[in-house]
Structure 1
Amino acid sequence: MKVKKWDVIIISLFVIASFIPALIFTLQARANSGGYYVEIKVQGELYETRQLTGHTGREEIRIETDLGVNIVEIIEEKVGMYEADCPDKVCYSPEYISRAGETIVCLPNRIVIEVKGEKPDADDEDIITGWASDHHE
């Protein structure tokens, strides 16, 4: 069986066309995304929310509780645990995170740092706690 020029062209077009849906979904996801933001929870309660996408410079967030002291650092579009007085220091690994779904946890001080997708509106209420998303402890 001999492969002809038009056979190769038609197969190539089908292969290229098969990637079009993936391209469309990727472009839609980027267009709908408000960027990444970080949620910091202390003892299960929302403590702070900060935008990561477009963030420039360096910012420190100091968290003091009866369990200990932690300093969360935002550098450019990444967030990490800058300082923690917990004994195990597991919260230093990974050093800095920047993608949705990544988390840093300090179990002894009960602090969770999580990067999330599109930033919620300030007046949106959390269904479970009933707090507005700009609530600070």
Structure 2
Amino acid sequence: MKVKKWDVIIIGIFVLASFIPALIFTLNTRSASDGYYVEIKVQGEFYERVQLTGHTGRDEIRIETDLGVNIVEIIDEKVGMYEADCPDKVCYSPEYISRPGETIVCLPNRIVIEVKGEKPQEDDEDIITGFKSDNHD
């Protein structure tokens, strides 16, 4: 049986294509390991995204809508509602959040603040290596 030129080309294309999933997985892992960020939605629409990992200092984000005015405060790697003109003030509790999955919601002004991303906690154990997450950075 003789190997033809097109056989080699097709096999080469398949070999190169087999690396595409590994490349996609590497890119997705790299973006997930960038730490965590806060995502702000106003009236169900995306408003702003701010990186929390490595954030230092104090920043304010003023949100003005026809429903009211809110000021979101980011201090170091935590985010909280600094000011809200809503009547119930439920959005002040919890005061500041910093872990993925935590949210602050101001229902009257329809604002949702959510911490997203992945950052291993100090007491989390890596399921692959069995080491604590603070043993290898």
**1:34 to partner: Cα distance:** 1.0
Q: Which residue of 2 aligns with 1:93?
A: 93
Aligned ranges 1:61-72 → 2 under 5 Å = 61-72=61-72
- 2:102 is aligned with 1:102: yes
Q: Which residue of 1 aligns with 2:60?
A: 60
Query: 2 CA distance for matches of 1:33 and 1:102?
Result: 18
Aligned ranges 1:29-48 → 2 under 5 Å = 33-48=33-48
Q: Which has the higher relative contact order, 1 or 2, with Cα contacts under 8 A spaced 6 or more apart? A: 1
CA displacement, residues 10-41 of structure 1 (integer Å, 9 cap, x when unaligned) = xxxxxxxxxxxxxxxxxxx9xx6210100000
Provide TM-score, normalisation by structure 1.
0.63
Q: Partner amino acid for 2:50?
A: R
Question: Runs (4+) of structure 1 moved beyond 4 Å?
Answer: none
Q: Partner amino acid for 1:114?
A: E
Give structure 1 stretches of 5+ with no counterpart.
1-28, 119-137
Q: Which residue of 2 aligns with 1:114?
A: 114
Q: Partner amino acid for 1:36?
A: Y
Give structure 2 stretches of 5+ with no counterpart.
1-28, 119-137
- Determine helix, strand or coil for the equivalent of 2:79: strand
CA displacement, residues 58-84 of structure 1 (integer Å, 9 cap, x when unaligned) = 000000000000000000000000000
Q: Partner amino acid for 1:40?
A: I
Query: 1 CA distance for matches of 2:59 and 2:112?
Result: 18
Name the Cα RMSD after superposition: 1.8
Query: 2 CA distance for matches of 1:43 and 1:53?
Result: 26
- Determine helix, strand or coil for the equivalent of 2:83: strand
Provide TM-score, normalisation by structure 2.
0.63
Q: Partner amino acid for 2:64?
A: E
Aligned length: 90
